[in-house]
Amino acid sequence: MITTKAIGENQRVFALSNSHFSYVFRVSPEGILEHLHYGGTLSSPLEVAAHHRRTQRHAITEFEGTPHLSLTGLPQEYPSFGTSDYRFPAFQARNSDGNTVFVPLYKSYRILDGKSDMDSLPQARGEGVQTLIVTLEDALHGLEVELRYSIWEDFGILARSSRLMNHSDAVIHLHHAYSSALDLPPDDYDAVHLWGTWSREMNKERVPLPRGRFVIDSAKGTSSSTHVPFLALAQKSASESRGRIYASTLVYSGNHSFSAEVGEFDDVRLLAGINPLGFQWQLSPNGGQFMTPEALHVFTDQGFRGMSHSFHNFVRARITPEPFAAKPRPTYLNTWEAAYFDIDQDKVLLLADKAVELGVDMLVVDDGWFKGREDDTTSLGDWTADPVRFSKGIPWLAKQVRKKGLKFGLWFEPEMVNPQSDLFKAHPEWALHVPGRKPSLGRNQLTLDLSRSDVVDHLYGQLDAILSCGDIDYVKWDMNRNMTEVGSAALPPDRQQEVGHRYMLGLYALIDRLTTAYPNVLFENCASGGNRMDLGMLSYFPQTWTSDLCDPVGRLSIINGASLFLPLDCLAAYVGPSPNHQNGRITSIDTRFLAGAFNAPRGISLSEADIDQDLSRLQHWMAWSKQTAPDMIGGRFDRLITDDNEVCWQYMTADRVTVYLAYFSILSHPNAPFWRARMQGLERLGDYRLEGTDQIFRGDALMESGLPLPYVTTSQTSANVDYMPKGDFSAALMTFRKL
Ligand code: DGJ
């Protein structure tokens, strides 16, 4: 997969190639890493270098006196600033002379079978992978830059990260360091990204890539729903099923930045990494280093479908923690929208009985169970059961719930503290803060300083004290505010800009320790819904709460957006109340369930009265969820129709035998057009029976001609006339089985 060869004096070419893509660069005569190709697979990738020609340009600044060479026109692997490249650089640092001019040149390389250490940052797992490590050096200031490239045999993913090391005897101040830079040739690109806010996550925006620098980023201390860590550059003509796309995400959960800069020669520089805003790092003399998070890149010429499949297959196989990656997920009844803070052990046991009646696998006690927590103004940090409402304690309650044949789940928000809590009274210095300023509260709470190892150890002890009872099967790990006044009492003034990233390292250390100690506990990531849905958190937690909006219409667009890079295996969904508590929309149980039918983690959050009202329909869907739980892991998801009013999704099981179609029509229009679901990935000559009917379809017909929607069997229509269901927010499920 990785090949290299010397090409003349001091020159070398490197190629990474598999059946999905080839990536090629060379060491130029000047020692610069010059990018040559990222795109479709080449039969002889190393040969690209032989045909490479540099364009001679006029009226340029010439790099260190090299005739006709300006770095601003040169595609590079990890460009720096200050000589002749005027675009935004991959990194910037200040040396002991006080300037920011660094020129790292090629020094050496090595190729590993597997991956290399990431200094406690999460990274994609290294089976069937090779890693190329190229070392560059700025000899004048003793800065070493290590670029890592990993390529897997079976996946269309290129992983990149960078390590910067100070070998001089003076401090180097790192101002920013991206994980990767991709200098792409000119093309007619659109930028495609995901934006949102609480309860309105994952909206897809597609805009023409303007000249200048297009940036999406987060400075909120989380990867955020405002700008999700995902950016795709798609050819103007790219559609769901065809066209060239470059897409990137990060295995990181803190502040990120993705930028695409169209240069003066129409070339495009894509940077992915930690947000320079609010970040600096001191590289100590004689060995201080900084490791960037891992960036994942996809190239496809198969449109958004090809891009999503590359991400989905990879996330399942190399990000989702084992053994959960292949495990069917339990269905659950969650107490949040059933009772909010009005919860006690008796109510939990009543809901547990309901859970048994519903046929779900697990009862989850959400917020409100710990000491004094009767609303959201108090008690975060005090992780012991409320002595009045949960007088018998969590281990007792967990046991009672389990005796009913259910699993037991519990909510925590470990990273937070309310000023009104025993923890804050004992340790006010444990909250993030800056001296002399009043802290800004969010949901009445402060963020604990996870850059401190004493805080991390304390939190481990708190969770361990409860989880060690052995009767807890699932933890919902919530995080309900963005960060402000990001400062630490434990660090000196000249290291305060490091707190944001050190927080992430502390968080990863904590959840790594917990998930290692409790390998059978299923952890669900959550941050006010989807405010931290990224591959960093998903490296430890197999699933994530998708959004606090469970209104099915809202969920359709959230899933359409999230599925651009996240597989539905890891996105949790539940049937919530109607009218919906967030937007007041009234919808049927069927539509509410079907909007989350293809998500592997599925459940219900309804009061007893609401459950009783729709009991039989809920029982039906929970039985269906249980029966299809193994199907919803590892299969293939396709967005067939994503119109504003009509949505149709296909889900095919991993064995390719069962194909589910879910069709949603949002507002009902009289005499409306018929849409067609052109199904995907079927066996062309295979025969598929539509369950519940005797109708058999040929695979190629379902793919090429498509299924008219809504599909109504002749026995359902009177005299074979066209039939359109009436009413808003309708949904239908069809199941095809290959004969
Ligand atoms: C925000 C989450 O997104 C909700 O699902 C719920 O757990 C609440 N927090 C509890 O406070």
The catalytic residues are 478, 548
Residue with tokens 């390292």: 505
The pLDDT value recorded for residue 720 is 45
The pLDDT value recorded for residue 713 is 56
| 3-state secondary structure (DSSP) of residue 568 | helix
The pLDDT value recorded for residue 73 is 86
Mutate to test the pocket of ligand 1, among 548, 582, 605 (most ligand atoms within 8 A of CB): 548
CA 378–ligand 1 middle distance (angstroms): 15
The pLDDT value recorded for residue 90 is 98
Mutate to test the pocket of ligand 1, among 335, 342, 364, 366 (most ligand atoms within 8 A of CB): 366
Query: Mean pLDDT score of the chain, rounded to an integer?
Result: 95
Write the residue with the smallest CA distance to atom 10 of ligand 1.
367
Which tokens go with 333? 């009844």
Range in 250-264, 450-464, 545-559, 710-724 with the lowest mean pLDDT:
710-724
Inform me whether the pLDDT recorded for 738 exceeds 70. Answer: yes
The pLDDT value recorded for residue 670 is 83
Residue with tokens 């005797």: 694
Inform me whether the pLDDT recorded for 714 exceeds 70. Answer: no
Q: How far is the C-alpha of 606 from the C-alpha of 333, rounded, in Å? A: 8
Confidence of residue 712 (pLDDT cuts 50, 70, 90): low
Confidence of residue 65 (pLDDT cuts 50, 70, 90): confident
CA 574–ligand 1 middle distance (angstroms): 13
Mutate to test the pocket of ligand 1, among 343, 415, 480 (most ligand atoms within 8 A of CB): 480
> Helices 345-358 and 393-403 meet at what angle, rounded to 10?
20
Inform me whether the pLDDT recorded for 722 exceeds 70. Answer: no
Inform me whether the pLDDT recorded for 640 exceeds 50. Answer: yes
Inform me whether the pLDDT recorded for 600 exceeds 80. Answer: yes
The pLDDT value recorded for residue 205 is 98
Confidence of residue 505 (pLDDT cuts 50, 70, 90): very high
What is the rounded average pLDDT of the residues 390-396? 98
CA 237–ligand 1 middle distance (angstroms): 40
The pLDDT value recorded for residue 51 is 82
Higher pLDDT, 549 or 670: 549
Q: How far is the C-alpha of 716 from the C-alpha of 294, rounded, in Å? A: 54
Confidence of residue 672 (pLDDT cuts 50, 70, 90): confident
Range in 405-419, 429-443, 668-682 with the lowest mean pLDDT:
668-682
Write the residue with the smallest CA distance to atom 11 of ligand 1.
367
Region for 379 from its dihedrals, namely left if φ exceeds 0, alpha if ψ lies in -120 to 50, beta otherwise: left
Rounded to the nearest 10°, the torsion over CA 79, 84, 87, 90 is: 20
Write the residue with the smallest CA distance to atom 1 of ligand 1.
528
Confidence of residue 49 (pLDDT cuts 50, 70, 90): confident
CA 207–ligand 1 middle distance (angstroms): 33
What is the rounded average pLDDT of the residues 598-607? 98
Neighbouring CB atoms inside 10 A of 723's CB total 11
Which atom of ligand 1 is the closest one to the Cα of 527?
Answer: 3
Inform me whether the pLDDT recorded for 723 exceeds 50. Answer: no
Confidence of residue 54 (pLDDT cuts 50, 70, 90): confident
The pLDDT value recorded for residue 450 is 98
Inform me whether the pLDDT recorded for 104 exceeds 80. Answer: yes
Inform me whether the pLDDT recorded for 579 exceeds 80. Answer: yes
Higher pLDDT, 724 or 406: 406
Evaluate if pTM is beyond 0.85: yes
What is the rounded average pLDDT of the residues 685-705? 95
What is the rounded average pLDDT of the residues 684-712? 93
**CB burial class (10 A; 0-12, 13-18, 19+) of residue 8?**
exposed
Inform me whether the pLDDT recorded for 724 exceeds 70. Answer: no
Write the residue with the smallest CA distance to atom 6 of ligand 1.
336
Which atom of ligand 1 is the closest one to the Cα of 476?
Answer: 7
Q: Cβ contacts of residue 46 below 8 Å, gap of 6+?
A: 3, 4, 5, 13, 15, 24
The pLDDT value recorded for residue 119 is 87
CA 247–ligand 1 middle distance (angstroms): 31
CA 451–ligand 1 middle distance (angstroms): 24
The pLDDT value recorded for residue 718 is 46
Going from the C-alpha of 648 to that of each of 309, 462, 645, 690, 729, the distances in angstroms are: 17, 45, 10, 16, 13
Closest CA to 365 of 389, 345, 383, 381: 345
Write the residue with the smallest CA distance to atom 9 of ligand 1.
528
What is the rounded average pLDDT of the residues 449-467? 98
Q: How far is the C-alpha of 133 from the C-alpha of 115, rounded, in Å? A: 10
Instruction: Give pLDDT tens digits for 288-328.
Output: 999 999 999 999 999 999 999 999 999 999 999 998 999 99
Q: How far is the C-alpha of 37 from the C-alpha of 51, rounded, in Å? A: 12
Inform me whether the pLDDT recorded for 584 exceeds 90. Answer: yes
String of b and e for 230-262 (b: at least 16 CB within 10 Å)? bbbbbbeebebebbbbbbbbbbbbbbbbbbbbb
Closest CA to 581 of 556, 548, 604: 548
Ligand 1 pocket, Cβ-based, cut-off 6 angstroms:
336, 366-367, 411, 478, 480, 526, 528-529, 545, 548
Neighbouring CB atoms inside 10 A of 683's CB total 14
Q: How far is the C-alpha of 186 from the C-alpha of 637, rounded, in Å? A: 32
